[in-house]
Amino acid sequence: MKLYSGSQCLFSHACRFVLRAKEIECDVVFTTDKQVEDAVAELNPYGETPTLADRDLVLYDGVVVNEYLDERFPHPPLMPSDPTTRAQARVMISRLRRDWLDDVQNRMASGVKLERNLSRSLSDGLVAMSNHFSENKYVLGEDFSLVDAYLVPLLWRLPLLQVNLPRQGGKILDYGNRMFAKSSFQESLSTAEREMRAD
């Protein structure tokens, strides 16, 4: 199994986090040179990361890749077992993408700073989520899930995005710091991602 990954790609990072959380053996190839980029372009009509090659199967789109990894390697499960809560988790992931992740990734990939309204949306939205973490260990409660796998790489990028949460966002920052300390998260980081918080 081989994952073609961008070194700063938020969705690739989420996939690497899932790989480490599940301790899946996978060759992670960073798309840093022309030869690797050409290989991705042959596998994926959009030429984007993340792209997963598992024998004859090729998958792209980070959400599709992570759901496949969770189903192919079911332990530990990263989605709830009951259909209602699983659907709610998918809605949360969809909202994260629509509200923030897609826009943040597009601006990071093109080297463009976040517009004021996106920065405000991100700051206000994370502050609104913050109180949830005074009573819950993870986004869905007591269990780490795919929702966390997307939220945590976003929180890691806040300094780079120049988004500073006010005091009211303290609980979500505490959650982020707790997640950053996990060995699975540390092992998921690329060199470029480590440098985002080098100071």
Query: Is 14 part of any domain?
Result: yes
Residue 36 placed within a domain: yes
For the chain, how many residues are written?
Answer: 199
Same domain, 65 and 13: yes
| Whole-model pTM over 0.75 | yes
Average confidence (pLDDT) over 39-55: 92
Residue 199 — very low, low, confident or very high, per pLDDT cuts 50/70/90? Answer: low
Task: State the CATH number of the domain containing residue 173.
Answer: 1.20.1050.10
| CATH number for 28 | 3.40.30.10
Total domains present in the chain:
2
How many CA atoms, within 13 angstroms, populate the side-chain half-sphere of residue 192? 13
Three-state DSSP at 197 gives coil
Q: Does the pLDDT value for residue 33 go beyond 80?
A: no
Contacts 24+ apart (CB under 8 A), 78-87: 78/18, 78/21, 78/22, 78/144, 78/145, 78/146, 78/149, 79/145, 79/146, 80/140, 80/143, 80/145, 85/140
pLDDT for residue 3: 97
Instruction: Show the domain range for 154.
Output: 83-182
Question: Same domain for 66 and 109?
Answer: no
Mean pLDDT of the chain: 94
d(CA 121, CA 133): 19
Kindly indicate the confidence band of residue 36, based on its pLDDT and cuts at 50, 70 and 90: confident
Could you tell me if 41 and 129 lie in one domain? no
